[in-house]
Amino acid sequence: MLYALHEIFTTLQGEGRNTGKPCVFVRFAGCNLQCPWCDTDFSPKVHLKTEALLARIADSGVKNVIFTGGEPLLQRGLEPLAKQLKAQGYWLGIETNGTIEPPESLRASLDYIATSPKMGAPLMITRAHEVRLVVAEDVTAAWCRSVRDAVAAEDYYLSPCDVGGVLHVHPAITLLGELNASPLVSPWRLSLQTHKLAGIP
């Protein structure tokens, strides 16, 4: 199998429940959305066969791997790759925009699913471990609640939108207050992109 990648890098997870967890990020090329505020480059930079990719991951010395993008669920051959990594004792996570429902055969190898749905995009995923919504200008409380109704998760986060290197925190915490005005079993929480605040990849 040949995998189209943008990059592979090792750093600390910067957002959500696993903030601070050392991880190898495998950033696959390609995305099926074009969010106007997106600052992620997901153009193809390198193509690696399975064994070469596994070797790059092993060379990191870190046993936690996160598939990201772009949209990693567009990548052919993700299931056998995940199965091989799981057999080698890796903790596996995925970050997805929620437009594709992960097949059960892939879910069986994943320890963690984080989804970040976008307003106006189809929402196909039905369950995850955490939901992270980026608070851009058009995000409303009603839409946040609709996502929560559609996606069963353990944790729900709001992430301030990064525009030109500036995190717009005030709109996010204002919306957080509105969503948490009524008691919830799992309240909405704020998730800052701490890797950007710390100046790490």
Catalytic, out of 6, 67, 68, 95: 95
Catalytic, out of 6, 23, 25, 99: 25
CA angle, corner 102, sides to 97 and 107, nearest 5? 125
Q: Is 38 a catalytic residue?
A: yes
Q: Is 31 a catalytic residue?
A: yes
Structure tokens at 3: 């995998």
Residue 196 has pLDDT above 80, yes or no: no
Catalytic, out of 39, 51, 137, 154: 39
Residue 198 has pLDDT above 70, yes or no: no
Q: Is 9 a catalytic residue?
A: no
Predicted confidence band at 199 (pLDDT cuts at 50, 70, 90)? low
Q: Is 195 a catalytic residue?
A: yes
Q: How much is the average pLDDT of 51-59?
A: 98
Reported as a single tens digit per residue, the pLDDT across 80-95 is 999 999 999 999 999 9
Q: Is 23 a catalytic residue?
A: no
Catalytic, out of 7, 38, 168, 178: 38
Catalytic, out of 23, 31, 144, 161: 31
All structural domains of the chain: 2-198 (3.20.20.70)
pTM: 0.93
Helix runs in the chain, H state only: 50-59, 78-87, 104-107, 141-150, 169-179, 194-198
φ/ψ of 197, rounded to 5, equals -65, -35
Provide the percentage of residues in the chain whose pLDDT is more than 90. 83
Residue 166 has pLDDT above 80, yes or no: no
Residue 6 has pLDDT above 60, yes or no: yes
Catalytic, out of 10, 11, 19, 35: 35
Q: Is 35 a catalytic residue?
A: yes
What pLDDT does 177 receive? 97
